[in-house]
Structure 1
Amino acid sequence: MKFSVFTASTPEWTPQEAATELAAQGWDGVEWRVTDQADSPEPGFWAGNKATWPMTGLEDSLPEIARITAEAGLEYSGLGGYARCDNHDDVERVLAATAALGARQVRVNVLPLGNSTMGGGEPSGLSYPELFAATREHYEWVAARAAHHGVKALVELHHGTVTASASSARRLLEGLDPRHVGVIHDLGNLLIEGWESPLPALELLGPYLSHIHVKNARWVQATERDESGAAVWVNEWAPLAEGQGSVLAYFKALAQVGYDDWVTVEDFSTDVPLAGRTAGNLQYLRRVAVLAGLSVPAGADLSAGSIPKG
Structure 2
Amino acid sequence: MKFSVFSASTPEWTPEEAAAELAAQGWHGIEWRVTDQADSPEPGFWAGNKATWPMTGLEDSLPEIARLTSEAGLEYSGLGGYARCDNHDGVERVLAATAALGARQVRVNVLPLGNSNMGGQEPSGLSYPELFAATREHYEWVAERAAHYGVKALVELHHGTVTASASSARRLLEGLDPQHVGVIHDLGNLLIEGWESPLPALELLGPYLAHVHVKNARWVRTDERDAAGAAVWVNEWAPLAEGQASVLAYFKALAEVGYDGWVTVEDFSTDLPLAERTAGNLEFLRRTADLAGLTVHSNADSLWKG
TM-score range, shorter chain: over 0.9
Q: Please tell me the residue identity of whatever aligns with 1:94.
A: V
Q: Residue 59 of structure 2 corresponds to which residue in structure 1?
A: 59
Q: Residue 227 of structure 2 corresponds to which residue in structure 1?
A: 227
Q: Secondary structure at the match of 1:184?
A: strand
Q: Residue 185 of structure 1 corresponds to which residue in structure 2?
A: 185
Q: Residue 87 of structure 2 corresponds to which residue in structure 1?
A: 87
What is the CA distance between 1:204 and its match in structure 2? 0.1
Q: Residue 104 of structure 2 corresponds to which residue in structure 1?
A: 104
1:1-310 pair list within 5 angstroms: 1-297=1-297
The CA distance in 2 between the partners of 1:290 and 1:296, in whole Å, is 8
The CA distance in 2 between the partners of 1:176 and 1:20, in whole Å, is 38
What is the CA distance between 1:223 and its match in structure 2? 1.2
The CA distance in 2 between the partners of 1:296 and 1:158, in whole Å, is 26
The CA distance in 2 between the partners of 1:225 and 1:181, in whole Å, is 43
What is the CA distance between 1:120 and its match in structure 2? 1.1
Q: Secondary structure at the match of 2:4?
A: strand
Scaled by the length of structure 2, the TM-score of the pair is: 0.97
Aligned residues between the structures: 300
Q: Secondary structure at the match of 1:135?
A: helix
Q: Residue 306 of structure 1 corresponds to which residue in structure 2?
A: none
Q: Please tell me the residue identity of whatever aligns with 2:170.
A: R
Deviations 1:3-41 (A, max 9, x none): 000000000000000000000000000000000000000
Q: Residue 304 of structure 2 corresponds to which residue in structure 1?
A: none
The CA distance in 2 between the partners of 1:124 and 1:215, in whole Å, is 29
Q: Please tell me the residue identity of whatever aligns with 1:196.
A: E
The CA distance in 2 between the partners of 1:143 and 1:4, in whole Å, is 25
Q: Please tell me the residue identity of whatever aligns with 1:133.
A: A
Q: Please tell me the residue identity of whatever aligns with 2:167.
A: S
Q: Secondary structure at the match of 1:41?
A: coil
> Percent of pairs identical after alignment?
89
Scaled by the length of structure 1, the TM-score of the pair is: 0.96
The CA distance in 1 between the partners of 2:298 and 2:184, in whole Å, is 27
CA change 1:298–1:113 in 2 (3 A) is: closer
What is the CA distance between 1:260 and its match in structure 2? 1.3
Deviations 1:131-151 (A, max 9, x none): 000000000000000000000
Q: Secondary structure at the match of 2:123?
A: coil
The CA distance in 2 between the partners of 1:269 and 1:276, in whole Å, is 12
Q: Which runs of 5+ in 2 are unaligned?
A: 300-306
The CA distance in 2 between the partners of 1:283 and 1:5, in whole Å, is 13
Deviations 1:51-92 (A, max 9, x none): 000000000000000000000000000000000000000000
Q: Residue 305 of structure 1 corresponds to which residue in structure 2?
A: none
TM-align CA RMSD: 1.0
The CA distance in 2 between the partners of 1:218 and 1:102, in whole Å, is 36
Q: Secondary structure at the match of 2:207?
A: helix
Q: Secondary structure at the match of 1:162?
A: coil
The CA distance in 1 between the partners of 2:98 and 2:132, in whole Å, is 26
What is the CA distance between 1:297 and its match in structure 2? 4.0
Q: Secondary structure at the match of 2:232?
A: strand
